[in-house]
Structure 1
């Protein structure tokens, strides 16, 4: 009886091991193989980019995809090297949040030559990727500058704070803002300079402008919220808040709270969650050779004190 019991236990263990091997094999080969996506992001010091990255992570988890995210630290050269590394690792798809329009472009060719789909998220390159997921940055600046023109009654002195020079968002937001300035000859562009998407640099730049132009300043258009929040801080310290209109882009949580309080006049909502989620969805479809949209454009929305409640979590 003892030997019979041992024999039965051995048979059960063998059957169980066979079942486990079979289920493991099915998850690996039977359509259950985990796709691996490599993502290189402009800068994980930028709150909006972090929001896009978080949305990508959440969507990848939901879809059962492995996501490897690296920080390019604003270096296009580093970004190209990161894409080379992903190709060497044999990832199924690459998502790139480009540092620069031109300097990040070689990464597109590298991925294409390796026959790995590459999706640009949030920003563009001159080289055409497999797909683009983002928003029309020209329109965001048109929305912001139209709001400034309306609030100033079409007359006044405006300062413009640029993002990282040579990046698609900076180029397009510059174009959109200047299009509206041209249509409103009563608005004068007093000065323009880069704050490199950075809050501390935005604050320092505004302090310099206050010294140079003082009460001649009627409005500041910051190409992102980080710089806009820096401008607000400098204006508050100089006792000029309420006298100078400040409008920026992205609608990060800090900016939404500032709009609610009235310290930031307006921001333009850019949907980080949609951009991140759609980038993963598009990458997965491209990797599986399924049909996908080559251009996924997510609209911008103006956020003021009147409608900020709709955007606050």
Structure 2
């Protein structure tokens, strides 16, 4: 489904006089030398301490540079409150469009409401809010967890004990990846989820959490599903240190470079590729179209792909 938004820009009488004889459409054309004609997009990212989020942002920067778009990027540092304040600041600056990588489904929603009220297009990238933005660019997180848990179920022959590491609680990816994992668990009654807790997308926290689970459950654990690679790698380190890695399957999501290298080494059994480059570039493309009043996709979903040693080569750069 395609929607079109038109943004009206007010010019001073003097400026209009200078532009007499020029068509209004020419002012937004690519290649304008005047800085005043450059589209400005405000960007609020969940956390620039997270490798995958940084990869999404790098893709946005690359696409923005290619398209002559100015980005103003801020780091919400996992705070939805800070993120809402950042969007308020972008509104005050009268940016042409906003891209938000939401911290939380509910708590980041007021930012969407405020941007829409100010008639500024707001695009959610990678993660969602309960309030619908102008457009969403990302992937179906439910599907990523289905892929990961299905792989675990098949490797264990449908029987065994699983632990699950959640991401930052309340964030869309955490909610949907839990949903997808539980959908598959329901299909395998002999596959038991014996523990689940947040590792907050963090490698060190996940390592500590895995150490605690090893203390509590020891050799009972047959598989770990970590909702991102950072946590998966933390789990791998703890299991390796305890001499248990060869007995436990570990699967995670994102296919960050470290995750791919771990699959290559055989320490991480599988990961699920999420395309940061496409998410970032498509977010910029959508923001530009919405700001210019051009037709754009209301929702862009980029597929996930299972990565194992067998197909690893096509994902390594």
Q: Normalising by structure 1, what TM-score?
A: 0.91
Matched with 1:36 is: 40
Q: Matched residues in 1 for 2:247 and 2:316: separation?
A: 26
Partners of 2:81 and 2:108 within 8 A in 1: yes
Shift of 1:70: 0.5
Partners of 2:202 and 2:230 within 8 A in 1: yes
Q: Deviations over 1:237-262 (max 9, x none)?
A: 00011110000000000000000010
- Say which SS state the counterpart of residue 302 (structure 1) adopts: strand
Matched with 2:143 is: 139
**Equivalent residue runs for 1:149-298 within 5 Å:** 149-298=153-302
Q: Matched residues in 1 for 2:60 and 2:164: separation?
A: 31
1:115 aligns with 2:119: yes
Q: Deviations over 1:181-236 (max 9, x none)?
A: 00000100010000000000010000000000000000000000000000000001
Matched with 2:91 is: 87
- Say which SS state the counterpart of residue 242 (structure 1) adopts: helix
Residue-pair matches, total: 290
Q: Matched residues in 2 for 1:241 and 1:170: separation?
A: 25
The structure with the largest alpha-carbon Rg is 1
Partners of 2:28 and 2:292 within 8 A in 1: no
The root-mean-square deviation of aligned C-alpha atoms, in Å, is 1.4
Q: Matched residues in 2 for 1:195 and 1:49: separation?
A: 17
- Say which SS state the counterpart of residue 292 (structure 1) adopts: strand
Matched with 2:102 is: 98
Matched with 2:64 is: 60
Shift of 1:98: 0.2
Q: Matched residues in 1 for 2:27 and 2:284: separation?
A: 22
- Say which SS state the counterpart of residue 69 (structure 1) adopts: strand
Q: Matched residues in 1 for 2:72 and 2:313: separation?
A: 35
Q: Normalising by structure 2, what TM-score?
A: 0.90
- Say which SS state the counterpart of residue 289 (structure 2) adopts: helix
